[in-house]
């Protein structure tokens, strides 16, 4: 099977390919509770209960997308922070799509990857806490490879696209998966380093633009300046004051787009 060859030599724990599954994040969380090793991986062609943040739906129709989840145990992370791990996923996808397909992906902080301003990938990092300690993080990534994966616009908050349309070439799932995993493995040990924050920051969408960031009832407005040292989003307000937004349940929008996610 093509995935076995593509994953050859990577230091994965348990791994399994599913033609159809509910959600790969749920599969890996179940494995984690059963003691699966660090870097266990579930890959699916189709998800029938794919999830975004806050219970939103992530569409993964068959034969057109890549959906996978990777188990990250805190022992293997220098900084066990789910927000940073979401950034790790987005950065790895952005770098892989650039290297493989010559694209210029941008990261819509904290967890989306955009191509030409359209969403091509969503990242969902879910943490499990046991007795106040982080037990594990499941890093879930969904990418639209061909146009069949792109949901109709009326179901979306942001326009979406797929790798093959943007790259004007085929985007094979196994090949794409391997490149992303290699970048995750590269950056994973540097999550607490300024180089990681700088690489994440360099790819931010809407830099220099006026944006609003909504979190619960709170809304921040300002020019998107970059990231703080700890990975929070840095906005500069009208009188030059700095405002920091922490990832969590958050919506980031350029001011021109007033639709809610
Ligand atoms: C995300 O949430 O973008 C995170 C998506 C994570 C999916 C992966 S796939 C593997 C693993 N298993 C899972 O069950 N999940 C993870 P959020 O930022 O909340 O965005 C969700 C929104 O994206 C939806 O409300 C739609 O508007 C939009 N959306 C859904 N499917 C999409 C698609 N295929 N392409 C582009 N946009 C989509």
Q: What are the pLDDT digits (tens) for 192-210? A: 999 999 999 999 999 999 9
Query: 89: exposed, middle or buried (C-beta count within 10 Å: 0-12, 13-18, 19+)?
Result: buried
d(CA 60, CA 67): 7
Instruction: Select from 84, 82, 155, 163 the least CA-distant residue to 116.
Output: 163
pLDDT at 215: 74
Q: What is the arithmetic mean of pLDDT over 62-90?
A: 95
Q: Quick check: CB of 253 below 6 Å from ligand 1?
A: no
What is the band of 219 on the pLDDT scale with cuts at 50, 70, 90? Answer: confident
Does the pLDDT value for residue 258 go beyond 60?
Answer: no
* Cβ atoms within 10 Å, residue 255: 12
Q: What is the pLDDT of residue 260?
A: 44
- 212: which residues sit within 8 A by CB, 6+ positions away? 219, 220, 221, 252, 253, 255
Q: Which helix (H) or strand (E) holds 245?
A: strand 242-245
Answer whether 101's CB lies under 8 Å from 163's CB.
yes
Does the Cβ of 28 fall within 6 Å of ligand 1? no
242 CA distance to ligand 1 middle (Å): 30
Cβ–ligand 1 distance for 176 under 6 Å, the answer no
Give the percent of the chain with pLDDT over 70.
96
Distance 89 CA to ligand 1 centre (A): 13
Q: Which two tokens stand for residue 199?
A: 């690489």
Return the CA Rg of the chain.
17
Nearest protein Cα to ligand 1, atom 3: 122
**CB 84, CB 172: distance < 8 Å:** no
- For the question of whether the overall pTM of this predicted structure is more than 0.75, the answer is yes
Residue 1 has pLDDT above 70, yes or no: no
Residue with tokens 């599969």: 27
Shortest-distance Cα residue to atom 17 of ligand 1: 52
CA 9 to chain centre: 24
18 within ligand 1 shell (Cβ under 6 A): no
Task: Name the closest-CA residue to atom 28, ligand 1.
Answer: 156
Distance CA 174, CA 76 (A): 24
Q: Comparing C-alpha atoms, which of 16, 17, 18, 13 is closest to residue 40? A: 13
Ligand 1 proximity of 48 Cβ (cutoff 6 Å)? no
């Amino acid at each position: 099977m093509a995935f076995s060859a593509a994953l050859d030599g990577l230091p994965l724990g348990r791994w399994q390919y599913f033609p159809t599954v509910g959600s790969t994040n749920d599969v890996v969380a179940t494995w984690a509770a059963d003691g699966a090793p660090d870097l266990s991986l579930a890959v699916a062609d189709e998800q029938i209960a794919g999830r975004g943040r806050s219970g939103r739906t992530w569409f993964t129709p068959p034969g057109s997308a890549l959906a996978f989840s990777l188990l990250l145990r805190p022992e293997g992370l220098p900084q066990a922070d789910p927000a940073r791990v979401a950034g790790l996923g987005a950065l790895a996808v952005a770098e892989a799509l650039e290297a493989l397909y010559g694209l210029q992906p941008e990261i819509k902080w904290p967890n989306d990857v955009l191509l030409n301003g359209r969403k091509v990938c969503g990242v969902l990092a879910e943490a499990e806490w046991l007795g106040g300690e982080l037990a594990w993080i499941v890093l879930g990534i969904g990418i639209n490879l061909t146009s069949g994966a792109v949901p109709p616009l009326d179901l979306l908050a942001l326009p979406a696209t797929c790798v093959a349309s943007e790259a004007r070439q085929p985007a094979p799932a196994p090949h794409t998966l391997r490149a992303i995993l290699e970048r995750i493995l590269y950056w994973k040990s540097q999550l607490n380093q300024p180089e990681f924050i700088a690489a994440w920051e360099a790819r931010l969408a809407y830099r220099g633009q006026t944006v609003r960031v909504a979190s619960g009832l709170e809304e921040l407005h300002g020019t998107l300046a970059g990231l703080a040292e700890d990975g929070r989003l840095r906005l500069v307000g009208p009188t030059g004051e700095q405002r920091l937004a922490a990832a969590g349940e958050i919506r980031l929008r350029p001011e021109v787009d007033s639709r809610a996610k």
